[in-house]
Amino acid sequence: MQRARRRFTITGLYSLTGRPDRPTGPPRAPLHNLVLASSSPSPYRKALLGKLGLDFECASPNVDEQPQPGESAEHLATRLAVAKASALQAQFSRHWVIGSDQTAAGPDGVPINKPGDYETARDQLRRCNGRAITFYTGLALLDTGTRRLDQLCESFVVHFRTLSDQDIHHYLETEQPYDCAGSFKMEGLGIGLFSRLEGRDPNTLIGLPLIALNALLRARGLDVLSEAYRNSRRDSSN
């Protein structure tokens, strides 16, 4: 009796026993290691990227983040995102490097930086009291092997409700958001400062536009949902 021939495909539809396994989705794109280029010591972008269930590593690029004369907040965020990704090209070959940077402009158009201390944070919130500020988050995806680069910038508008000095004091003493541009943490108690938010992706406000990143990865053949599924199956079997 002739033995049945075993079939194998790159998606693993047949196992070593010759029995068909449950399909795992469309054929996967060529595997590329993901790197998050982040010079910030804060864990926000790392935590956001981790939500996608992908394997990645972090590396700190050496980038001068000072704005150029007359540079707009939007241009600055995009330029620095590209600079961060490009700075790791020599260190990582055949990788997809993700660069991101965020800037903000107050209601008077003046850039808003990370406060660093209570007094600066209090002054920032007083200046934004009852008004709106716009955050710009630049995103870059660089293939270090082919040098293909995609870049974009997402905006997000935050409308502050009317705040008393006591509101500001209680918030700052409770959450101490001194490492955050705008002097608040939207994912925490800072949500109590706002009357409304405008933007398609709230992750943009935290520091990494996941909807846009997902679209860039998908356009390059990486299905985030399928990859996250494979990773979860792998982790559960270990």
Q: Which residues are catalytic?
A: 101
What is the rounded distance in angstroms from the CA atom of residue 156 to the CA atom of residue 203? 10
Ramachandran angles phi, psi of 172, nearest 5°: -65, -40
Residue 136 CA: distances (Å) to CA of 149, 173, 209: 19, 27, 10
- Rounded distance between C-alpha atoms, residue 84 and residue 142, angstroms: 10
Angle, alpha carbons 157-162-168 (nearest 5°): 95
Report CA 215 to chain centroid distance, whole Å.
Answer: 13
Cα(157)–Cα(136) distance, rounded to whole angstroms? 9
Q: What is the DSSP letter of 51?
A: T
| φ, ψ dihedrals at 111, nearest 5° | -60, 145
Q: What is the identity of the amino acid at 181?
A: A
Which tokens in the block code for residue 132? 């709106």
